[in-house]
Amino acid sequence: MSTVLALETRGLTKDFGRGKKRVRAVNHLDLQVEAGQVYGFLGPNGAGKTTTIRILLDLVRATQGEALLFGQRAYRNPALLKRVGALVEGATFYPYLTGRQNLEVLARTEGTYDKAQIARLIERVGMADRADRRAGGYSTGMKQRMGVAAALMGQPELIILDEPTNGLDPAGIQEMRILVRELVEKDGKTVFLSSHMLNEVEQVCDRVAIIRRGEIVREGAVSGLLAEQARVRVDAQPLEKAYAILCQHWTTHYVAGGSGVLAVDRVEAPRREVSQEVTHSGILVNAAREDIPQIARKLIEANIEIFEIAPERQSLEDYFLAVTSEENHA
């Protein structure tokens, strides 16, 4: 059975400017987002995330390649775009209209005006008591909430949210996280989420793509990516000897660390690339949980006293920083 793709890009490329001033914002990007999941789209500033989203929404024309929504080309296809709701690069509104009037104007533009639905959406994003205030007086967080309401208008099947938690307080971020999961689990929507809040992404996304300089550098299920660079914490005495033993098997060079870190080392393991960090309180070995017996055996054979060997959970943030800095060094 073929998988239904809500969103797909094929060799998507976008250049801005001409001649010497030409800048490639998106570089042969291939992306596939299956329907019915929350897909995280991550990358540092200027990586090309928003440009990709703008191409998907036909706001910006691709230089090469194509963007597809539900298997159809998004380019000059307004009927197709009605199946998509989006919040792009910060919510914006007519400042002289109230939040509710703004939603009404957008709904009428789309031809899906439904007063009751607008009221329900306002309620859903927690803006019922502020919807009749002029949007010009809204805080960033309030605008974001209304922006999400606008994205949900017209019952779209695919919802693209570009930094939806910008400006939200912790409670708002939590509400947004719940809302996003609900959209997928209860309403059966697909959510394409671009965010810098990696903790949030880790909690809500099923899959993520990490983009850098317009290219995808990693893509996969969140759990799978985190397992890829799992780390093991080793507390042993003498620490320097333990470090030396582990270096014999994994270490290739020794690097001075920052505060709280004595040294960081990158090594080539037989099966995978791993790295080690030595901290004041122990050694961090970038290895999977299944490597722990081997690490323990090496240390015991060298008569080193082991106090703790435990897998250390790596966050998506750690992973993101590792991947993007790895690409920087490449």
Partner 1 sequence: MLSLFRAEWDKIAGNRITVAAFVGIFPISAFMLLVFAGIAVLVSATFRQNIVNAPPNWMEQLLFPWVIINTEIGRAIMAAFAADVFGGEYQRQMWKNLLQRRGRSAIILNKFLTMAVFVLAAFLLMCVIIGIGVGLLTALAGAAYPPALSDLAPGELERFLRQFGAQASIAFAAALVAAAYAALGGIFTRSILGAVAVGVLLTLAEQGVALVLFILNQIAENPDLLRLYFFTPGYNLANLSTWSQFGSGYLPPYMTQYGFTPLPVEASTLLVIAWLVGLMMLCVWLFRRQDITS
Give contact residues for partner 1 (rule: CB under 8 A).
Answer: 16, 54, 57-61, 76, 78, 81-82, 84-86, 88-89, 92-97, 101, 104-106, 108-111, 113, 150, 154
Q: Report the residue number, 63 or 203, with the smaller CB distance to partner 1.
A: 63
- CB 88 to partner 1: min, Å: 5
Closest distance to partner 1 from the beta carbon of 62 (Å): 10
Name the residue with tokens 């000059």.
76
Question: Which of 55, 70, 67 minimizes the C-alpha distance to 15?
Answer: 55
Nearer to partner 1, 25 or 180 (CB): 25
Query: Angle at which helices 239-249 and 292-301 pack, to 10 degrees?
Result: 120
Closer of 92 and 294 to partner 1 (Cβ): 92
- Least Å distance between CB 17 and partner 1? 11
* Long-range CB contact pairs, 314-319, < 8 A, 24+: 314/226, 314/229, 314/230, 314/231, 315/198, 315/199, 315/202, 315/226, 316/198, 316/199, 316/201, 316/202, 316/208, 316/222, 316/225, 316/226, 317/198, 317/199, 317/202, 318/229, 319/225, 319/226, 319/228, 319/229
Nearer to partner 1 (CB atom), residue 136 or residue 224: 136
Q: CA of 325: how far to CAs of 50, 183, 203, in Å?
A: 21, 33, 23
Nearer to partner 1, 107 or 230 (CB): 107
Determine the Cα–Cα distance for residues 313 and 229; give it in Å rounded to an integer: 10
| Helix ranges (DSSP H) in the chain | 49-56, 78-81, 99-110, 115-124, 140-152, 170-185, 198-204, 222-228, 239-249, 292-301, 316-329
From the CB of 136, what's the least distance to partner 1, in Å? 10
Q: Which two tokens stand for residue 153?
A: 């208008």
Q: At which residue do the structure tokens 């998907």 appear?
A: 56
Residue 261 C-beta: closest distance to partner 1, Å:
41
C-beta of 318: minimal distance to partner 1 in Å? 33
Nearer residue to partner 1 within complex by CB, 92 or 252: 92
Residue 78 or 270: the one with the smaller Cβ distance to partner 1 is 78
CA 310 to chain centre: 27
Write the DSSP symbol of residue 88: -
In the complex, the smallest distance separating the C-beta of residue 59 from partner 1, rounded to whole angstroms, is 4
Instruction: Report, in Å, the least distance between residue 220 CB and partner 1.
Output: 29
83 versus 241: smaller Cβ distance to partner 1: 83
- Closest to partner 1 by CB, 12 vs 88, is 88
Min dist CB 86 to partner 1, Å, is: 6
Residue type, 277: E
Task: Assign 73 to helix, strand or coil.
Answer: strand
